[in-house]
Structure 1
Amino acid sequence: MTLRLSRQLLDRQIVDRSGLIVGNVADIGFGVDDDGVPYVGTLLVGQVALGRRLGGGLGRLLVAVATRLAPRLPPRTTGIPFHLVREVGSAVRLSCPGDRLPQPALECWLRRHVINRIPGAGRAGR
């Protein structure tokens, strides 16, 4: 499969096997095989990954907000292994349910303290 990574992966919605949106692709994590050939290893999600990709003042602000709102956890990126990707199109479709994926700390905090308090937000995902 040939991909133009910046066009076909970055900022796409990630949809689990049952059609629920589980996040957006904020950045891409690469690996290198035994022969030295690079490959896409993970799709990075969450505000920390997006902030690090953007860089500059806006990127530092995103990482700072993520750190401030989830202070008990160190700021880190959350990745979805690329082998779980079933299809790349207008969205990135996964072959597994969303509840088996790692959760970015800030998104968990926002869901618990903000999103779940909005009337009708029960349909907003996990």
Structure 2
Amino acid sequence: MHLVHDVLDKQVVDRRQARIGKVDGIVLTADNGGQLKVAFIEMGSLTLARRLSRRLYAWILRFSQRKRASDRWRPYRIPWSKITDVGLDIEADVDDSETPLEQVQEWLRQHILRYIPGGLS
């Protein structure tokens, strides 16, 4: 498997096949022999912003700290052991209702997207 090509930016679906977001980052760990393995996939605005721009990342981080919403904006990690299939979508053995991702998406809809023409469509 080519990790970046096959996993990064792919749609993640939960055990009910509900879309919960896209893979924004991959967390690797090294064992005692220095062998790398995938520990988690990361999802969330901060992870995506860190990939796109250091300035954007710093702005979102400051914003989330000022609003005291750091828990809501923290990246959501799914352990690689919970990934059941890597295909067209990344299938994870998690439930959408147990993740903080829906809360962030709802906040974005209420505070940003509704002011953009076509943002809620």
Which range, TM-score by smaller chain? Answer: 0.7 to 0.9
Q: Give % identity.
A: 23
**Correspondent of 2:68 among 56, 67, 71:** 71
Please report the TM-score for the alignment, with normalisation by the length of structure 2. Answer: 0.72
CA distance in 1 between partners of 2:9 and 2:67 (Å): 23
Instruction: Give the CA deviation at 1:35.
Output: 2.6
Q: Which runs of 5+ in 1 are unaligned?
A: 119-126
CA distance in 2 between partners of 1:96 and 1:109 (Å): 17
In 2 relative to 1, CA 6–62 (structure 1 residues): closer, same or farther, beyond 3 Å?
farther
Which amino acid letter does the alignment assign opposite residue 8 of structure 2? L
Secondary structure of 2:70's counterpart equals coil
Aligned length: 110
Deviations 1:41-100 (A, max 9, x none): 0001000011112234344445455x2785332653221111110111111011232234
| Superposed CA RMSD | 2.7
Q: Which runs of 5+ in 2 are unaligned?
A: 115-121
Secondary structure of 2:77's counterpart equals strand
